[in-house]
Amino acid sequence: MIVPKHFFVEDAIEKRKPLAPQARRAGWVGCNILLSRIPEAGKIYIVRNRIVSDRQDVLVQWRKTGFLREESTASRGWLLNVIKCVDDIGAKEFNLEEVYAFETRLSGLYPMNRRVRHKIRQQLQVLRDRGYLKFLGRGRYRVL
């Protein structure tokens, strides 16, 4: 599995304790990558269950989220968190109310944002404009 670098945002990286003073690299601080916080779109499998993926399928999946490289770190964080919420719905088609169900989670991640529902709609529009989602009308969307 590979994860494109634009999926590595602050909440997907966990800081580890510094190495002990007696260690050869004393004070060095490493990190853990929290794969559970990476949306499924960011997990590109080259080999899965001992089956090698088709090269073209891998490239298509890689390009699908390439637009995230152009986003600022803050914008990318919001987009990835909304993508993760869509993943957690677990269906190809969903409605706005299902995404609003994650308002509490997103409010916890962005406590200074008082208009989380507005931000969710905005991020869904960005994902639509970038070809990640298709708007079906009346608050319904489909993951492409």
Query: Which CATH number does the domain housing residue 55 bear?
Result: 1.10.10.10
CA distance 89 to 4: 23
Residues of the chain with pLDDT under 70: none
CA dihedral 35, 39, 43, 48 (to 10 degrees): 90
CB-count exposure of residue 19 (10 Å: 0-12, 13-18, 19+): middle
Q: In sequence order, what are the residues at sequence separation of 6 or more whose Cβ sits closer than 8 angstroms to the Cβ of residue 106?
A: 81, 82, 85, 113, 116, 119, 120
Give the position of tokens 């803050």: 74
pLDDT per residue as tens digits for the range 41-81: 999 999 999 999 999 999 999 999 999 999 998 899 999 99
Domain residues for 28?
A: 5-143
In this structure, the strands spanning 140-143 and 133-137 are antiparallel
pLDDT of residue 42: 96
Q: What total of structural domains would you count in the chain?
A: 1
Residue type, 77: G
pTM above threshold 0.75: yes
CA distance 115 to 120: 9
Buried b (16+ CB within 10 A) or exposed e, 25-59: eeeeeeeeeeeebbbebbebeeeeeeeeeeeeeee
